[in-house]
Amino acid sequence: MTFLPPRTRYAAIVLLVALIASLAVAFFRARVESHANRVELAMDYTDFDALARSYDYNPAAFLVALRRAGLTSLALTEELGSNVGYDGKAYATTGAALLNQARISPIADPLLAELVRARRIDRGAVYLLVTDSSTYHRYITQLALHFMPKSVRVLRSTRPWLIEVHTQIDYFNAIALGIPTDQIELARRLGLLVIPRFQNDERFTFPQIDGLFSDVLRYDSKLSTVVFFGLANQVVGYPDHLQDTADAFRRHIFNFGSIETYDPSQVQKGNDTLAKLIPGRTVRVQAIAKTELDKLRLEEVVARYALGVHERNVRVVYLRPWGHQDGNLSIEATNVEMVKAIADQVKAAGFRLGRATPIPPYHGNNRILVGVATLAVPSIFVILLELFGWYGRRLAVAAYGLTVLLYAAGVLSHHDAFARSVIALAGALLFATAALLCLVPAWNEAPAQRLGAQVVRSLGWTLVATGVALLGALVVVGVMSFPLAMEEIERFRGVRLVLGLPPLIALALYLFDRRFGSGVERPRDVFLSPVLAYQLLAGIAIVAAGALMLVRSGNESDVSPSPLELALRHSLTAVLSVRPRFKEFLIGFPAIMLLPALLPRHRRAIGWLLALAIGVGVGDVIDTFSHLHTPLEVSILRVVNGLVLGAIVGVVAIWIYRRFPSTAP
């Protein structure tokens, strides 16, 4: 700290303390991530049963083979009214249909026939004829949750049971009638965990919601994760009784499965609110839709699921059977091989198979510790003010005061996620600026005479800039590492700004800060200079590339990678286990490596392009850690791999540059 003037040394001391606090958060987070390492491999039973019936496979033997391959759970979905009768244990019809049938043929059931003759059939009612005892008791239990007592009448209380429900057939078809008991017993008999899938009814309050869970627990206590379904795409309890659902979760110890989506509009209604009401009980669920599954190769399916577990904190792999043959394998053997391949890759990455483990509340989310970490932001701001010659005591006091007030207001108003996002974004951009300023000497030094010396020098500057950027990433981790963000319930709102603004900051610094040697004497000269055609075309291309970069960022991109890029990604993942980001090892790091190797005239000719490229790399290093659902270990490996590959690309670029006679130092 001796290089800093006395008036900013206090800011440097506070910065050091804040970075230590951020490091403590990172340590606690890494430890809790290493412990939350159990993964469920779950099969959708409805789709599985349809496949098994289609090819006349023995479902129990098929499931035993899948369990031996690594399957841990069965996802069992409530039976809808429209599906009554598919298993041959019940029959549903309307009163109008019964009367019409009676006109053309006799009705076999004596009680129904007598009701028709006595004109006691209600045309608007639904009649259920049930031949299985457990199915009858399930229907009675579930109908009591959805209808008033007067709406449901048991007309015959012995086998075959006859139930009259006063409702519209369209409404009846859409209601859920519980999970079939034989499916629960099958899972229990085979030693598989149960993932119950419930559909919402907006009228449900705590007794009905608790009844849903209790009805399944009556037959099997090995529930693991609840995953909701339904055409309305809602969690149970939405919109007015989410607290009742949360109370039911607290009463019964199991997880809530938050389904990973690539489109925010597809997130289940009430998902985020419920997750916030039951902290430490949420796990991420990854599924591939059937329409997409049919377009993928088996190795692509396996790779996608394994990547989700390793890099996106997915803890429930929700499988649907793959309806194609792989080589000479039967469809049954192909699905066994799919589960085995996923299980092998998950275990090879250090995870265990079993009941999914969520991210629990942990010491790293301590409010005081996080509050200390936030002080890194005003501290680096004060130091930057000094470096730009703009330091003022009032500005320094205002920066610290505003940070403390913003964080305290967020905590007191229960909107601390938003406040923390704002502080983390400011810290990311300020540290990116600091990383760019660290390269000022590199913009002005003469190239080394020998290639080896130049490579060492270039690598040194790359490590310096990357190190400062990583301090910014550490601050983001220290401020934003709370369980809801790590489960992507709360999202860091500044991810795209962290990626998009550093290149613009780098360009502005290059053009308007004389220390970068751009040759611009007055800022207005930049705007008054004539623009040549090639400069205009280059500018349009760079703007388009920047827009594409932002659109492509994150998991919600509508722009798919090209087949070549997908193949390269797969190869890098296979070789390095964690794929580095192209923006780092093909753009940012090589640009930093090449910068000090250029002759001054060449450096000035393409300085603006180098500035943009370096800004992309610096921003991307911080952005890597802004994806908080990615484990810290993975993010660190990603940057290290990118740094190594980027340095290699940079060395090649320097070697090629020095091969030309006009570039000799």
pLDDT per residue as tens digits for the range 259-282: 998 777 789 999 999 999 999 999
- Strand segments (E) across 304-397: 314-319, 352-353
**Above 60 in pLDDT, residue 525?**
no
Do 305 and 427 belong to one domain? no
**Above 90 in pLDDT, residue 326?**
no
Q: Find the domain containing 451 and state its range.
A: 6-32+361-663
Instruction: Express each pLDDT in 243-255 by its tens digit.
Output: 999 999 998 888 9
Do 408 and 475 belong to one domain? yes
Do 449 and 316 belong to one domain? no
Beta-sheet pairing, 255-259 with 161-165: unpaired
Give the range among 426-435, 469-478, 537-546 with minimum mean pLDDT: 537-546
145, 174, 203: which is the final residue of a domain?
A: 174
CA distance 194 to 215: 13
Report if residue 1 sits inside a domain. Answer: no
Closest CA to 22 of 478, 626, 485, 636: 478
Do 71 and 91 belong to one domain? no
Do 187 and 315 belong to one domain? yes
**Above 90 in pLDDT, residue 595?**
yes
Do 443 and 573 belong to one domain? yes
Report if residue 429 sits inside a domain. Answer: yes
124, 143, 174: which is the final residue of a domain?
A: 174
The larger pLDDT score, comparing residue 177 to residue 231, is at 177
The larger pLDDT score, comparing residue 487 to residue 527, is at 487
Do 375 and 332 belong to one domain? no
Instruction: Express each pLDDT in 158-178 by its tens digit.
Output: 999 999 999 999 999 999 999
Res. 553 pLDDT band, cuts 50 70 90: low
Do 125 and 227 belong to one domain? no
Q: Residues 6 or more apart from 404 whose CB is under 8 A from it?
A: 371, 374
Instruction: Express each pLDDT in 491-503 by its tens digit.
Output: 887 888 998 899 9
Do 323 and 434 belong to one domain? no
The larger pLDDT score, comparing residue 288 to residue 565, is at 288
**Above 80 in pLDDT, residue 320?**
yes
Do 126 and 192 belong to one domain? no
The larger pLDDT score, comparing residue 524 to residue 215, is at 215
Give the range among 196-205, 370-379, 551-560 with minimum mean pLDDT: 551-560
Instruction: Express each pLDDT in 93-104 by its tens digit.
Output: 999 999 999 999
How high is the pLDDT of residue 520?
66
DSSP 15-56: HHHHHHHHHHHHHHHHHHHHH--EEEEEEEHHHHHHHHHHTT
Answer for the pair 415, 58: CB distance below 8 angstroms, yes or no: no
Give the range among 109-118, 181-190, 514-523, 634-643 with minimum mean pLDDT: 514-523
Q: Considering its fold, how many domains does the chain have in total?
A: 3
Phi and psi for 591 in degrees, rounded to 5?
-65, -40
SS3 category, 656: helix
For helices 367-374 and 6-35, what crossing angle results, to 10°? 140
Q: Name the strands in the sheet holding 90-94, side by side, starting at the edge strand that comes first in the sequence.
A: 90-94, 126-130, 161-165, 152-156
**Above 70 in pLDDT, residue 535?**
no
Do 68 and 188 belong to one domain? yes
- Average pLDDT, integer, range 408-424: 94
SS3 category, 152: strand
Do 51 and 165 belong to one domain? no
DSSP letter at 78 equals: P
353, 383, 405: which is the final residue of a domain?
A: 353
CA distance 227 to 255: 9
How high is the pLDDT of residue 577?
83
CA distance 550 to 500: 7
DSSP 212-229: HHHHHHTT-S-B-EE--B
For helices 416-437 and 607-626, what crossing angle results, to 10°? 150
Res. 72 pLDDT band, cuts 50 70 90: very high
**Above 50 in pLDDT, residue 1?**
no
Res. 7 pLDDT band, cuts 50 70 90: confident
CATH number at residue 279: 3.20.20.370
